[in-house]
Each structure stands twice: as structure tokens, then as C-alpha cells.
Structure 1
Amino acid sequence: MAKMTVHQIAALKPRDKAYKQNADIGLQLRVSAAGSKVWIVQYVVGGKQREYRIPRPFGPATDHAHLSLADARMEADRIRAMARAGVDFQVETLQALDAEARRVADEQSAEIRRAEIDRTENLTVLDMFDAWLLNGVSRKDDNAELRRSFAADVLPKIGAIPIKSLTEHELRAVLRAMVDRGVNRAAVMVRNSLTQMFAWAEKRQPWRKLLVDGDPMDLIEIKKIVSPDYDLDNQRDRILSSAEICELREIFARMRTEFHSAPNRRVIVRPVEQVTQCAVWIMLSTLCRVGEMSMARWEHVDLTAAEWFIPKANVKDNVADLKVYLSAFSLEQFRQLHKETGHTDWCFPGRGAERHLDVKSISKQVGDRQAMFKKAKDGSARKPMANRRHDNTLVLGGGKNGAWTPHDLRRTGATMMQSLGISLELIDRCQNHVLAGSKVRRHYLHHDYAEEKREAWRILGARLSEILA
């Protein structure tokens, strides 16, 4: 077979159809209709005729995209020599490619495993918090307060610390920083949440293996962190005296009068909304919680029968339904409220009236008007907040007894009932508390004490009317 030269190969012209041209022993050129010239190596291995197309086509010189005649001959000689030795170049090439692909895949898998191990070993407090929120905790407010408190006080300080490196000292520092700015109760609540989170994590992987020294919250003694005068049992004892109840009524009336008689209402303090005033008197006279009241619907208030039904879904811990028998005092407040919001589904509608008022709204309204007791995170006086009141118009008794809250109204009403000779058990029933005693008693004794509770609320309402007369 005559061997072709470079000039002869370069002179090969395309035809209507692709054709092959022998260039050397076992080496051909396939000339396409477009003019490209592809090298083909022919060889026999295991008694079978085989062909291999060299990836780079003919070129006068070898480069990254072309293969010269001389180099094509060398490649063909190499492939044919392997064939004579019983080795199929193409099979070996595929096997080599497969082996390389497996090697690369194994390396990638190993790298992924190493990265995962490294990530797992370096999971942070923030990672644990996110996992706990997803799978470990479900509170009535959809964890909103939990997210807020951790975002404000916990995660900025220790969120980026790996769990394996976290010690009691970092946790204690978080709580002490809160106590230093005067929020002892918030510090206790955060401690309780941290305790719950770490107890959950200690039972589950990968957190369990990261807590090599055990649960760091076991070493936190909150009584040594909070202020010495703070009552850890949270036995807040603020009650409003009769004089303060009268003062509160007078504040409401004075603010309303001053506002409506002012020549320029833009520069005078706006009075407390009538809806909020009704809320104050309803909480005081029914002993209800602020959340139960905020979620009340008009369909549950019977102004004719003087009854208010509170479904257990609205009750703290979903204890039980409660029917409140409205005294004349409470009923009058609901009637006043109905004039304001009776056109909606909610006794206390939120913005747009599509849902109830936020359960913290009234507490904020009352607290914002006692600014002298509010502190910033650094312990200094809290600065005015956007779209919020910032005055002391609802401070009672000159502030000598401290701030009062909506929950204090519930305590005040209960204490007044006690002073009026109403039994403690009946007061508990009016407050919808879980009564002490065996489950057997609660299982068999089902008298609803309706008339007794009706009389208790009537007596309280009469006393409030007497005070405010």
C-alpha cells in the first residue's frame, strides 16, 4: 500500500458524499462532504476487525485541535502494537475513563463526607435553635415570642459559637447582660427556653455527640444571676387600691375632656381610646386575662342574658371553656364597647377588623403610658418608639407603687373578691384555674357553680360601682 504524503492529503477534495482514503498501513482518512479529514485507525484484536476515530482531525502540524500525518502514524502504530499484544485500545481507554470517573466520584463523595462531618462537628447555637424551632417546640403564638427573645438577647451573642465549644460561661453571660439592664423576668424566661432547647438536643443526634461535657444549662443557677430582690416564684403582688381605681377613672375622664376642649387637638395628648377603657374595666370586673379578652367575639357575648362565653381555645393552656356571668358593671362596659365595635365580628378588632386585636396590644398601650418605668437594653431610660405613646399619663399614685399591668387588674379583682368574703375555691373557678385535688374528684364532681359564680361577679361589680360612684 502506497503511503500518502502531507501534500497528497492536503490536496484531497470533498465530494458529494463522505469517502475514505488509505493513508498508511492501518491508517485511513475519512473526508467528509464539508471537507474535514478525520483519522481512522484500523486494527484486529481477538480476531475482530476494529476501527478507532482519532478525536483530532488532520492538520499540517499538530496542535490542540489537529494531528499531523507523522503523529497520526505514531498513534496508529501504538494502537496496532497493543492489538497485537491482545489489548483493545478502545476497551482499555473506556476502562481507564471509567476508573478515573470512579476515582473522581469517590474523591467527591469523600470530600462531601468530610464537609458534612466538618459541618456537623461545627454546628452552632443558631443551627440548634433553627432545628429546635422546626422539630422541637410549638407554642401557642407560633413561637413568635421565642423568636423575638432569642433574636434580641441570645443569638447576637452566642449564635455563631459551635455547640462543641459552648460553655456555661457564655450562657451565663447572656443572662447576666439581661439582668444588668433590669429585665429579670425576661432573663428567667430565656433561661427556661434555653433549658428546654438543650434538654431536647441532648436526646438527639447530632447534638448529643456535640455536647461532650453534658448539658451546659445544668450548671446555670438562675437564682445566682437574677437581682437579689427579684422573686423567682414570679409572685407579683401589685394590686390597684380603691384610690388608684378612682384615679384611673379620673385620668380617663380628664384626658377626654382636655382633648375635646382643646383649641388645637394636634398638640395635646390624645385620650386613651374608649375601647381600651372598656377593656380595663372588663378585666377588672371579670378577672379575665388580657389575651382571653382580646380574642373575644361578639357571637360569644349575650347582652340580653348578661353572659360571655370564653372558648378554651382562647384560654391559657387550653384549660377549659368558661362562662362569665356579667355583673351590671361588666354588662355596662360591654354595652359601651358594643357601640364602638359591634359592627365587627370582634369585640376588640385589629386593624381592618379582619381579626382580633393583637393580644399584646393593650399591655403595650398601658405600658407606653408609664414610660418612667421603661428601660432600654443598656439599662437607661427607654427612648420613644416609632408610632408608640411615650408619656406617664397612666402612672398611678405618683408611681410610688410601681407600674401596673393589665394582669394586675385580674389580681386586683380577685383580691377584692377575697376581701368581700368570697371563698378561694370560688375565686379560682371565676379565674378558670385548674383546681387542686385528685383526678378522681375532678372526674366525678361536676357541679358547675353557675349561680355561685354569678353571685361572686355580682358582688365584685357592685363593689366597683360603689368605689367609682
Structure 2
Amino acid sequence: MKELESVPAGWKRDTLSDGDGLSGEVRLSDGGAVFLPFRYAFKWEGKVTWHYCGSWPATSLEAIRVERDRARALIKDGVKPTDAKRAAKIEAQAKVEATIAEAARHQAEDLPLRAMFEVWLRDGVKRAGENGELQRSFEKDVLPLIGRKPVRLVDEGDIRAVLRAVISRGTYRMASRIYADLVQLFAWAEARKPWRALMIEGNPTKLVELAKLLPHGCDPDAERDRVLSPDELRELHAKLADMEAAYAATPAGQKYGTDRPLKKETQLALWICLGTLCRIGELLMARWEHVNLQIGEWFVPGENTKTRVSWKVYLSPFALRQFKALHALTGDTPFCFPARAATGEAPAHHVCVKSVSKQIGDRQTQFKKRAGPLAHRKHDNSLTLSEGAAGAWTPHDLRRTGATMMQQLGVSLDLIDRCQNHVLAGSRVRRAYLHHDYAAEKREAWERLGERLDALLVALNVVPRD
């Protein structure tokens, strides 16, 4: 060792022998330091072959000799040292790749339900509003409970736990919708990789019966048939007017102690739904560019409709007054019902399509199973009608009420369907060849409904006229 330490730089390219075929060539690093790569010389198939054993001083001379002895033993056993070295590298690489593959396999086996839902949302389902409502319901009621759980471990008990949590709130129709969505999600996944391989115990939704989780006699899918009577319509408008009058009469500085009335935009939305038979979601997504206040027409693009079919609403004087009053409030924005924007910024979107339904429901809490008020939400019965004898009412019930009033006025059922933008019954051939738009007939039907509402409400001086 000391001999190597005393090798001068002038011996560059000289070879030093350590015996038994091991020798090192004197070399200089970029910094001028001496180092010696050692090689072991041996004959293989009649030719001299070299096996690298290490470089001194990075590798000690003792370790270099051990590598020489290992190579010599391999040769004795008929194994070429360079081949053995290459094989060792291949084996080491194979072990690394196997470790990576095993980790990937475990990761694939532990894919969570949230990952499956997100792929389904992107590639397996297409609903109105870019699946927004579907995503909201899962984020609220499904994913917080089982979103992180590996798909392979999700069982029928997990599905029941999700549904029971929703049912405990008394929201039976929501439980039915979530159950149907879970059935659709797992049926989609059951036919596709990698999800089907993860369902080692089968599709858990096939083992769950929603009817056994609901209260006895409950049918969440039963069609609502709530229709507001003329007296209830008068009561509704009177209540809205009284709320505004009470708030306006409260002196400044004391208004915090007085209940705020329902937002004026929300009030107008209710009367527009009643007077046009539109769906509340279609209305809340409306843009002013689609409303012509001069000729009294509102165009509803197909992407905003449940049927994905565009339609045109011919506004009666009653409905047109509501739109004009709304325009005075929000006409400086692109949206008829703009979402709240940051100070100094223009609204970038319309309000949530559930906002009006929530505001109405929050004022009929006797029909809800709530332990107390929700944060930043109303919690009273100020909009309960007929003292609750007929049950809760929703904005969608106004659409049904308006349609029923049309029926009472003698409008044909087929025309009422057209005024509601329903998918019409009949053969595909009929729908393909009969393209009359019934514009005049629909305009007359809406005007007759508007006249009926005017007679009902204006007579009480509750709906201002132009």
C-alpha cells in the first residue's frame, strides 16, 4: 500500500504488477493525482482477457485483490467473470423492475372509489350542466364517506351506510337518485378495466334494496302532484308583499332585527315559472341576449333544457312584466340571474340552479327534518301556504300549477306539452316529417294563462300593471 502511495506522477502509463495476473496502470486525474485501475488477466478460449477489479485509491488494494480472487474462482468453475458481472447487473435491474411492478400492482389494487367516480364522470356519463349536479351530490353524500376506500373493499354495507345517511335527513327522493347513480356507476365499472378486476366480491349495489331502507310505505319515485290553488297563489303574493312592506317600514339601524324579504329576483323567478311553465333551472341559466323585451320572446338554448331541445317562449303581458322588472335589477349583466361577484368584477356565471328551491324550502322548515338552522340560511315557515294542510310546495309545482290552469282554460293537452317543452309522444316518422312550430297556438295559450293570472292577482292589486 505504501508503495502505491509513493508512486510519482512521472510513472504515468507505467504498469505495476501485484502478482497472480493482477496489474495496474499508472494514470493521472484532471487534478494531477495518481490513481491506478487494476485488471486481472486470464485466458479464455485461448485468448488473453481482462477483468476490471477496481481503481486505487478509490477502492482499497485489499478489495481489489478480493475481486481478483472472486474472478479467478469463477474462471475455475467455467464462468467468464465479465459475463457474471453482466448477469449480476441484469439481475439487479430485474429486481428493481419487479419492485416497481409490485408497487404499481398494489397501487392499482388500492384505487379508491373517488378515482373510479372521476373516470366515470369524465368518460362514462353525460348529463345536463356538464354533470355538475351529479358531482355535487357525490361530493356531499358519497365521497366523504367512502371516497377514499379502495374499490376492492367497498361492499354492500358501505352502500347502505351512504343511503341511510341521506334517508336520515328525510330526503327520500335524493336517496333514490343517489342509489340510481351508484347502480349506474358500478354497472359501468363492472364492464371495464381495471375496475372489474377490483370487484372481487362482485357489484355491491346488486345486494342493496333501497325499499328496505326507506320508511314503510314510502315511494320516493312517486310523481309529485302538488298544485297551488288560486287562494294559495293569492296568499303567496300577499306574504311576499307583506315581507317587503314590513322591511321597508323598519327604520334604518333597526333592520337587522327584521326578517329580510325574499330576494326580488327570486320573487320574479317564481312568477315567471308560473306564467311560462318553464323549469326553474332553465330560467336561472337564462342570459339577457336570449330575451327580447321588445317583441316579448325568450329563447331557451338546448344545452339549458332537460330535453336538450331548444324552444321559444312567447311572453304574455303578465310574463313580460316580470322580465322587465328583472331587467331593471340585472340588465347590466349578461345573466338574468347573475351569481354574486367580487366587488368591481362582472358576474362570471349564473346563480346555482338550486338556489331558488333552497330559498323556498328554507321558509317551509316544518316539512324538513333539520336539527336546526343551516349556516347562512333561513329557518322559518314564512312561505308555508294553507297553514301546511296541502304540504310543502316547490318552484317546480308552479310549472305544474300553470299547466293545470291552461288545462282548465281549455287548452289542448298536446299544446300544453309543447308549452312545457316536453318530449312529445308519437312515432319517429311523425316527429321527422311534421315540423309545424305551433307558434301562434302557443302564443295564444300563454296569453290566456297570463290573462287568468292577471284576473287572479291584479284584481287584488298585488301585481302592478304597466
Q: TM-score, normalised by structure 1?
A: 0.84
Q: Does 1:231 align with 2:230?
A: no
| SS of match in other structure, 2:312 | strand
The answer to whether structure 1 residue 36 and structure 2 residue 34 are counterparts is: yes
Gaps of 5+ in 1: 1-5, 59-63
Which entry has the higher C-alpha Rg, 1 or 2? 1
In 2: Cα distance, 1:294 partner to 1:188 partner: 25
Q: Deviations over 1:151-204 (max 9, x none)?
A: 333234444554445443432343233223311001100111011112112222
1:94 alignment partner AA: T
State how far apart, in whole Å, the 2-side matches of 1:210 and 1:432 are: 43
Give the Cα separation in 2 of the matches to 1:75 and 1:227: 80
CA–CA distance in structure 2, aligned partners of residues 432 and 259 of structure 1: 38
Residue aligning to 1:466: 455
**Deviation string for 1:220-244 (max 9, x for gaps)?**
3333332334334331122222122
Alignment of 1:317 onto 2:311: no
The CA deviation at 1:40 is: 3.9
Q: 1:450 aligns with which of 422, 436, 439?
A: 439
Q: Following TM superposition, by how much is the alpha carbon of 1:409 offset from its aligned partner in structure 2, in angstroms?
A: 0.8
Instruction: Please give the secondary structure, in 2, of the residue aligned with 1:358.
Output: coil
The answer to whether structure 1 residue 364 and structure 2 residue 353 are counterparts is no
C-alpha change, 1:73 and 1:288, in structure 2 (3 Å) is: closer
Contact 2:406–2:449, Cα closer than 8 Å, also in 1: yes
- Alignment of 1:295 with 2:285, yes or no, is yes
Question: Which runs of structure 2 are paired with 1:32-431 in the superposition (5 Å)?
Answer: 32=27, 34-38=32-36, 40-41=38-39, 43=41, 45=43, 54-57=53-56, 65-67=59-61, 92-212=80-200, 214-263=202-251, 264-318=254-308, 320-351=309-340, 352-375=346-369, 380-386=370-376, 388-431=377-420
Deviation (angstroms), 1:245: 1.1
Contact 1:198–1:217, Cα closer than 8 Å, also in 2: yes
Provide closer, same or farther for how the CA distance between residues 115 and 329 of structure 1 changes in structure 2, counting only shifts above 3 A: same
CA 1:10/1:256 → structure 2, altered by over 3 Å: closer, same or farther? closer
1:404 Cα deviation from its structure 2 partner: 1.7
Secondary structure in 2 matching 1:276: helix
Distance in structure 1 (CA, Å) of the matches to 2:174 and 2:438: 37
- Higher mean alpha-carbon deviation, 232-241 vs 221-230, is at 221-230
Call closer, same or farther: CA 1:123–1:336 in 2, change over 3 Å.
closer
Secondary structure (helix, strand or coil) at the match of 2:61 reads coil
Change (3 A) 1:293 1:134: closer
Question: Would the alpha carbon gap of residues 410 and 116 (structure 1) be closer, same or farther in structure 2, given more than 3 Å must change?
Answer: same
Deviation at 1:81, TM superposition (A): 9.3
Deviation at 1:302, TM superposition (A): 2.2
Q: Deviation at 1:293?
A: 1.0
CA, structure 1 residues 125+234, in 2 after alignment: closer, same or farther (shift >3 Å)?
A: same
CA distance in 2, matches of 1:285, 1:50: 98
Q: Alignment partner of 1:432: what SS?
A: coil
The answer on whether the counterparts of 1:13 and 1:35 sit within 8 Å (CA) in structure 2 is no
Deviation at 1:104, TM superposition (A): 2.3
Residue of structure 1 equivalent to 2:462: none
What secondary structure, in the 3-state scheme, does the structure 1 residue paired with 2:36 have? strand
Asked if 2 retains the 8 angstrom alpha-carbon contact of 1:223 and 1:232, the reply is no
Query: Hey, what does 1:61 align to over in structure 2?
Result: none
Aligned partners of 1:57 and 1:66 also within 8 Å: yes
Q: Distance in 2 between matches of 1:82 and 1:177?
A: 70
Partner deviation per Cα, 1:291-334 (whole Å, 9 max, x = no partner)? 1111222232222322222222221130x222212112111111
Farther-moved stretch of structure 1 (115-124 vs 344-353): 115-124
Shift of 1:28: 5.0
Distance 2:295 2:404 in 1: 27
Contact map agreement 1:38 1:54 (CA 8 A) in 2: no
Over 3 Å counting, the alpha-carbon distance change for 1:382 and 1:373 in structure 2 is farther
Alignment CA distance shift 1:436-1:107 (3 Å): same
Q: How big is the alpha-carbon RMSD for the aligned residues of Structure 1 and Structure 2? A: 3.2
What secondary structure, in the 3-state scheme, does the structure 2 residue paired with 1:55 have? Answer: strand
Q: CA deviation at 1:455?
A: 1.7
How many Å separate the matches in 2 of 1:349 and 1:49? 87
TM-score for the superposition, normalised by structure 2: 0.84
Q: CA deviation at 1:138?
A: 2.6
Cα contact 2:170–2:368 (8 A) shared by 1: no
Unaligned 5+ segments in structure 2 are: 341-345, 460-466
CA distance in 2, matches of 1:232, 1:18: 93
Contact 1:371 1:382 in 2 (8 A): no
Instruction: State the secondary structure of the residue aligned to 1:189.
Output: helix
Distance 1:143-1:310 versus aligned 2 partners, 3 A rule: closer
Tell me if the contact between 2:277 and 2:420 (Cα under 8 Å) persists in the aligned partners.
Answer: yes
Tell me which residue corresponds to 1:3.
none
Q: Identity of aligned pairs, percent?
A: 46
CA change 1:247–1:456 in 2 (3 A) is same
Worse-matched range after superposition: 206-215 or 451-460: 206-215
> Equivalent residue of 1:317, what SS?
coil
Distance 1:20 1:444 in 2: 99
- Indicate how the Cα distance of structure 1 residues 28 and 171 shifts in structure 2: closer, same or farther if over 3 A, else same: closer
Pairwise CA distance, 1:79: 6.5
1:18 alignment partner in structure 2: 12
Q: Deviations over 1:6-28 (max 9, x none)?
A: 6655544334x735264555555
Residues 1:262 and 1:202: Cα distance change in structure 2 (over 3 Å):
same
Cα distance change, pair 419–65 in 1 and its aligned pair in 2 (3 A): same
